[in-house]
Amino acid sequence: MIELADARRTLLAACPSIAPVALPVARADRCVIVADVVATHAVPPFDNTSVDGYAVQAADTVTATQDQPVHLDVLGSVLAGSVADRPVEPGRTWKVMTGAPLPAGADAVVMVERTSARAGSQLGAAGDQVAILAPARSGAGIRRAGSDVRTGETVLAAGTVLRPAHLGVLGSVGAREVLVYRRLRVGVLVTGDELVTDGGELRPGQIHESNRAMLMALLVRANCEPMDLGVASDDVADLEQRLRHAMAACDVIVTSGGVSMGDSDPVKAVLERMGRLNWMQVAIRPAKPFAFGVLDGPSAPVLVLGLPGNPVSSLVSFELIARPALRHMMGHVEPYGPSVLAIADEQLGRPLADGRTAFLRVLSRIGPDGRVHVRPVTGQDSHQLSASASADALAEVPDDRTVQAGEDVLVYPLS
């Protein structure tokens, strides 16, 4: 057996690279930026108003109070997208809407709540008058040009994982496309003669197929584009034909089943026939068997990841081994998920020395102490998916160790 860290390093070193692509900003959420994005203009590009109100010369408002307001002549209204056709002079003002360019000559904006229009006012019409009820300091109510982004500034650095707010930043600097590592096209192929896919009655020795929908959903959460390759029999020729067909459309193929120690495990046999095979016994519980190969696709190398068939083993090996590989290929500087030092509310682990680190499925909560607390779900065997479905994290328990209630334990959030 090899340690999990060594298995991960071996796999990441073998992962083929993918070429960057230019994607429309609206389609780039959660993708990784390839190159720095530099602003070609300032944001905002001009001085503008941050409130609805009146653009004034602050000196005109120094004596303004509720009881003795200052009255100013209104030159008209400036909406967002329009421009004042003459400057503000002493004793005069423009009514302005939020986002409107600041009229020349003005050095402050009095918000409308601190003004009063005379009865019958046309709300900003030229020739009207407004009463200023409080003094305004110079600069009040104004967003200066470049106060968010300066021309030539790097707004997003290479390696940034785009989130919705980043997409807004790209829009603000006029970017319509962004160079990113694209989403991987990942095929999911489940193997096993015993699997029933139509929900029909089971014959002796058969089970309902359960891994395919789970893996497809995990791939969506990993920001990949999953492709359903169906369920293959344990016939080596059939499996090889399916894999060769999938290589034309996929960057990665994820298989489930057929990678354990059995004499007739087909995925191992096919990968050995088709090219390079790396078969590992990883020192973790569950999900010890794992296989991968890099095959020569028609246009680019294709990575094949062979997960074990037991449902929980398939889930855990995807989270701990396959997902980091996919993230690495999509440009993530940190391919591994976050970990949290939590407190065990119940005993975790088992007094079994088998050379493997246990990853127990646990439920987490934030305690009154502000820390993460976890407790195990009922049913920790590799086939007990219904019990594991409620878990939201994996707790790492070293070999031959029991974590007692109240002790610290390292946990990894799921998905």
Query: How high is the pLDDT of residue 122?
Result: 58
Query: How high is the pLDDT of residue 344?
Result: 98
149 three-class SS: strand
CA–CA dist 265, 71 (Å, integer):
89
CA–CA dist 140, 50 (Å, integer):
9
Query: How high is the pLDDT of residue 353?
Result: 80
List of E strands, 32-158:
32-33, 37-38, 48-49, 53-56, 70-78, 92-96, 108-111, 115-117, 129-132, 142-143, 154-156
* C-alpha dihedral sign at 266, 267, 273, 277: negative
Query: How high is the pLDDT of residue 195?
Result: 82
* C-alpha dihedral sign at 125, 126, 130, 135: positive
Residue spans of the chain under pLDDT 50:
none
Residues 312/261, Cβ–Cβ less than 8 Å: no
Query: How high is the pLDDT of residue 127?
Result: 83
CA–CA dist 349, 356 (Å, integer):
12
Phi, psi (degrees; rounded to nearest 5) at 185: -90, 110
7 three-class SS: helix
pLDDT digits (tens, 9 = 90+) for 105-135: 999 999 999 999 875 565 677 888 999 999 9
List the structure tokens of 181. 């590592």
In which residue are the tokens 């699997």 written?
A: 195
CA–CA dist 333, 340 (Å, integer):
19
- pTM, 2 dp: 0.89
Residues 95/49, Cβ–Cβ less than 8 Å: no
Query: How high is the pLDDT of residue 77?
Result: 95
pLDDT digits (tens, 9 = 90+) for 333-355: 999 989 999 999 999 987 678 89
Q: Domains, the chain, ranges and CATH?
A: 4-18+182-329 (3.40.980.10), 21-44+147-181 (3.90.105.10), 48-143 (2.170.190.11), 340-413 (2.40.340.10)
380: exposed, middle or buried (Cβ count in 10 Å: 0-12, 13-18, 19+):
buried
Query: How high is the pLDDT of residue 198?
Result: 79
